Amino acid sequence: MVQRLIFFSRLDCDFITVVVGDEEEQRSFKIHEDVICDRSSFFRSSMKPEWASMRSDPRTVELPEDSPNAFALYRTWLYSRKLPILPTPPTESNIEEDTCRSSLFGNPPEHYHTLAHAYVLGERLLDIQFKNTVMDTYVLFARGATGSRYYPTNDHVRIIYDGTTEGSPIRKFLVDIWYCRGKVEWIENDGDLPQEFLAAVVREMLRARQTTDNLSRPWKLTHTQYHEKE
Domain ranges for the chain? 1-65, 68-226
Residues 44, 170: Cα–Cα separation, whole Å: 25
Per-residue pLDDT tens over the stretch 167-205: 999 999 999 999 988 888 888 878 899 999 999 999 988
Distances (CA, A) of 31 to 60, 72, 120, 153: 11, 11, 20, 31
> In this model, does residue 159 exceed pLDDT 70?
yes
pLDDT at 103: 41
Percent of the chain at pLDDT exceeding 90 = 56
- Taking 60 as the threshold, does the pLDDT of residue 7 lie above it? no
Q: What is the mean pLDDT of residues 105-126?
A: 85
Which pLDDT band, with edges at 50, 70 and 90, does 113 fall under? Answer: confident
Q: What's the rounded Cα separation, in Å, for the pair 133 and 137?
A: 6
Instruction: Please count the other Cβ atoms lying within 10 Å of the Cβ belonging to residue 67.
Output: 23
- What was the pLDDT predicted at 99? 33
Q: What is the pLDDT of residue 156?
A: 95
User: What's the whole-number mean pLDDT along residues 140-153?
Assistant: 86
- pLDDT category of residue 221 using cuts at 50, 70 and 90: confident
The predicted pLDDT at position 104 comes to: 41
131 contacts 123 by C-beta, under 8 angstroms: yes
